[in-house]
Structure 1
Amino acid sequence: MTNYHDPIKHLNFLRQTLSLDKKPIGFFVSAGCPLSVEMPKGEWPLIPDVAGLTQYATQELGSKDEEPYNDYDRLLKEVVKSEKDPKNIEDILSFIRSLKVVAVGNDVRGFNIDALSEIEKNICEKIVEKLDVDLPSENSPYHKLAHWISIDRSVPVEIFTTNYDLLMEQAFEDISIPYFDGFIGSRQSFFDLRAVEDDLMPDHWTRLWKIHGSINWFQKENKDVFRTTRTDEINSSHLIYPSHLKYDQSRKMPYLALIDKLSKFIRKPNSLMIMTGYSFNDEHLNDTILNALKSNPNTMVIAMLFGDLTYKDDNGDVIENYPNAVKLARNRSNLAIWGKDEAIIGTVRGHWHTMDDDFDDSINLANSITFVQKEGEDGEETDEKIYSLNLGDFSKLGEFLQALIGYNQTNFDEN
């Protein structure tokens, strides 16, 4: 038996839900989102993906000759020996920091603490070189998300992101949206744990939680975490931490507090989290999300995934693009994943299909749903249609939110 999901029904549900004034709504913005920003010819992407970022760091820091190897090359050899991914800059950073934990007073795998710290610092600097960029226009999907957030709501929107860049901050500031990211002050902004944990901010402030740190977070010599844009105050590595290692207390404080904010949000009654640009490859984050979903059956997480859920390899075998997401969604009824060709909703997997071919634009906002005629074996078009839901592309999600603003005047009563 073939299962189907009606994209019209679910798009209409999303439209109405996002229009509810008192519903806790959050967005989880992850690594795939900068790839959707339209750029001039030859300048795409604005920010590369993890593989591209790793390639850049390796080209810049690795030895240009096969022999002799420099410290970075030797480190990559150790990464491979430890069965970590040398093409993932986050795995490399996590590996360095795991070595640093035991390198105080000892050499570990041929590295002392100073060498490891220098490699870590150099990697962070290369990451910043690629991530310290501006959005090319105020018509970006980040700005469209920000414009939707600007609508007055009784309950503030919360943005969670694993990205280190400052694109969300730029979008908020370009259109004068007040937000709070956990830091207080203007010269050397410090992390205010009490304000984060107790939610001591005005309701009209959007919450921006940068779970994995940021390119403008640093540590003082006394280990206190601060945020600044003044280069003369930078005296240590950028506070970028993709891993969940046991840092010293001050360094891990923002990470643990913000992970806890993510868990608390999903545990809120009747909350909705929309995830975009996330591929479900961070096991620690997956566990946090899954445990919160288990404890609160009245919440909903919808993950918008880019492209199809599957592809065929050279042998014609069907391969999952997002195996971790599929596994989680098949076992949690309050986690839905929406791909371009398929979705898993209520643990049921099915292709998109609707019987209403004449749906109008008032439902299909910004052409979120498209279709083509299916071809038969003879190459001729058949009467059957193949439907696609395009919201897994962050730029399309931004267009949907922009179109939705015109519908916020409609009152939808909460059940």
Structure 2
Amino acid sequence: MNQINVIQEIDEFKKLLSYSKNIGFFFGAGSSCAFGLPNIYKLTEDVESMLNSSLKPHFLNLKYSLSDLHTRTNISVEDILNYVRQIREITGEKEDREYDGVNGRVAQLLDEQICKKIFDVIQAKERAADITELRKFFAWLDIANRSNVKEVFTTNYDLLLEKAMEDNRIPYFDGFVGSYEPFFWPESIEKSVSNNDSTFNWIRLWKIHGSLNWEFRKDSLSDSFKIVRNGKVDEPENELVVYPSKEKYNLSRKQPFIAYFDRLKNYLLQGERLFIFSGYSFSDQHINEIIFNSLRQNPRLYAICMCFSDEQVDLMEPNAISHLNLCVMGPQKMITNGKLYQWKYDESIGNASESNLYWNKGEERFILGDFKKLSAFLIANSGKKKSIEEAVYGK
């Protein structure tokens, strides 16, 4: 395998950061794992252990069915949720209809309890999380180039991002409006905001897989369900809106998911962009189609994927070699300009004075796949570290 000098590549990355006027971010589960939240497979184990005795056998049976169907053992709680929701759909939630040993009523109860246990697990981890580095990241993003709207997309349904911004008193917008029961207003994210609008510098947060503080609420007049966003929630009263299945994507444009997908597509297709992925495993085909189509259609879009493991680099290789505007960086490997390389650390070329920010000399590996390390690198490279720390610590 050919080698490439990590110092030179980081110098190029620094140049991209300095001249890019529009930088967007996409956060996956790995970014939350950096703050102690479980990855999807640990979350699956936790949910499984917490289900009540009447529903747990159904959960396990569906898990085994999916293992046989997909010929793999790493079935996640999201896979199971999607399957449960398909059963709800085809049975009409009726007790006298069943599929794969699960009737409609049980599927409904199982869906609701899985989401409730996800809430319990993540909320407990959120309370214990130290989000100082996340607050620093948003302080950096808030004072970064103000000539373009700042947008953050995420598949995470935890509330760490919201907590970090609110702790910093940074205004953000997610498409919901109102104060009593905030409702989703798609028109608010479909129109461009002029730079003289008071909300122009608000950070846009698009939670593509829903959120722990979204609930389905029944409308008393129409007898239909709507999605509302709560504030701080200690105990959800209604069914949570997390990890929407394919059916939920297609239910209505009044729901956030399709509108968020459209926002992602439009954002990536509009002019020059630097788009940085952190903690995203590229396991959602709905999202991947938008990303790779945008990379093909917009030659001025440049995407960088920071990977925590080299296994992810290997998985990305088939797509990365056919998209010259996609760069993938892992601990030992990198894909750039359609070619796979092995990292080489050579201090004789380039500026190695701050290499500890992106390279672990002892373990000889690239470390920006860790969100905390990426955040520290961005802040150090900005030249505004003092202002950022003042914004966080108030000194």
Common fold: TM-score over 0.5: yes
Q: Which residue of 1 aligns with 2:276?
A: 274
Q: Which deviates the most, 321-330 or 158-167?
A: 321-330
CA contact (8 A) 1:215 1:240 kept: yes
Mapped to 2, the partners of 1:247 and 1:357 lie a distance apart of: 52
Alpha-carbon contact 1:29-1:162 (below 8 Å) kept: yes
3-state SS of the aligned residue for 2:247? coil
- Aligned mates of 2:379, 2:281 — CA distance in 1: 24
Match runs of 1:11-410 below 5 Å = 11-20=10-19, 23-37=21-35, 46-61=36-51, 63=53, 70-83=57-70, 87-104=75-92, 105=94, 106-132=97-123, 133-134=126-127, 136-140=129-133, 142-152=134-144, 153-200=146-193, 202-221=199-218, 222-229=224-231, 234-246=236-248, 249-250=251-252, 253-307=255-309, 309=310, 320-353=311-344, 355-357=346-348, 360=351, 364=354, 367-371=357-361, 388-406=365-383
Structure 1 residue 170: Cα displacement: 0.8
Deviation at 1:346, TM superposition (A): 0.7
Partner-residue secondary structure (3-state), 2:283: coil
Separation of aligned partners in 2, 1:69 and 1:25: 44
Q: Aligned equivalents of 1:135 and 1:261: distance in 2?
A: 33
C-alpha contact (below 8 Å) 1:225/1:251 kept by paired residues: no
Unaligned ranges ≥5, structure 1? 38-45, 310-319, 373-385, 410-415
> In 2, distance between residues paired with 1:9 and 1:236?
52
- Alignment check: 8 A CA contact 1:85 1:92 kept: no
Aligned AA for 2:62?
A: L
Name the SS for the 1:288 alignment partner: helix
Identity among equivalent pairs (%)? 32
Distance in structure 2 (CA, Å) of the matches to 1:231 and 1:174: 17
For residues 338-361 of structure 1, the C-alpha deviation after alignment (integer angstroms, 9 at most, x for no partner) is: 011110001011112254437546
| Structure 2 unmatched ranges of 5 or more | 219-223, 387-395
Partner amino acid for 1:71? Answer: H
Q: What is the CA–CA distance in structure 2 between the aligned matches of 1:89 and 1:232, rounded to whole Å?
A: 22
1:132-187 per-residue CA deviation (whole Å, 9 max, x = no partner) reads 223643522x2222121121511122111000000011111111111111111222
Tell me, in whole angstroms, the C-alpha distance in 1 between the residues paired with 2:312 and 2:141.
31
Show CA shifts across 1:356-410 (max 9, x none): 4375466x365213435xxxxxxxxxxxxx953211111110110221231699x
Query: Contact 1:165/1:214 (CA < 8 Å) preserved in 2?
Result: yes
User: What stretches of structure 1 move > 4 A for 4+ residues in a row?
Assistant: 230-235, 358-362
Do the aligned residues in 2 keep the contact of 1:371 with 1:388 (CA within 8 Å)?
A: yes
Contact 1:19–1:408 (8 Å) recurs in 2: no
Secondary structure class of the residue paired with 1:306? coil
Q: 1:157 to 1:270 in 2, by over 3 A?
A: same
Contact 1:36-1:393 within 8 A present in 2 as well: yes
Following superposition, the deviation at residue 249 of structure 1 comes to: 2.8
Higher share in helix: 2
Cα distance, 1:19 vs structure 2: 3.0
Question: For residues 69 and 176 of structure 1, what CA distance do their matches in structure 2 show?
Answer: 42
- Number of positions where the alignment pairs a residue of Structure 1 with one of Structure 2: 370
CA 1:234–1:388: 2 relative to 1, 3 Å: closer
For residue 249 of structure 1, give the secondary structure of its aligned residue in structure 2. coil
Q: Aligned in 2, Cα 1:148/1:122: closer, same or farther, shift over 3 Å?
A: same
2:263 and 2:56 map into 1 onto residues whose CA distance is 43
Match of 1:3 in 2: 2
Paired with 2:103 and 2:359, the residues of 1 have a C-alpha distance of 56
TM-score when scaled to structure 2? 0.85
Give 1:375's aligned residue: none
- Kindly state the Cα deviation for residue 73 of structure 1 after the two structures are TM-superposed: 3.5
1:197 CA displacement: 1.1
- Secondary structure of the corresponding residue to residue 208 of structure 1: strand
| Distance of 2:69 and 2:41 partners within structure 1 | 19
What is residue 391 of structure 2 aligned with on the other side?
none
Report deviation, 1:86. 6.6
Q: Please give the alpha-carbon distance, in whole angstroms, between the structure 2 residues aligned to 1:175 and 1:49.
A: 26
Q: Go from structure 1 to structure 2 and tell me whether the alpha carbon gap of 1:338 and 1:70 turns closer, same or farther (over 3 Å shift).
A: closer
Find the residue that maps to 2:246 and give its secondary structure.
Answer: coil
TM-score (norm 1): 0.81
Aligned residues of 1:135 and 1:167 also touching (Cα < 8 A): no
Letter in 2 for 1:161: T
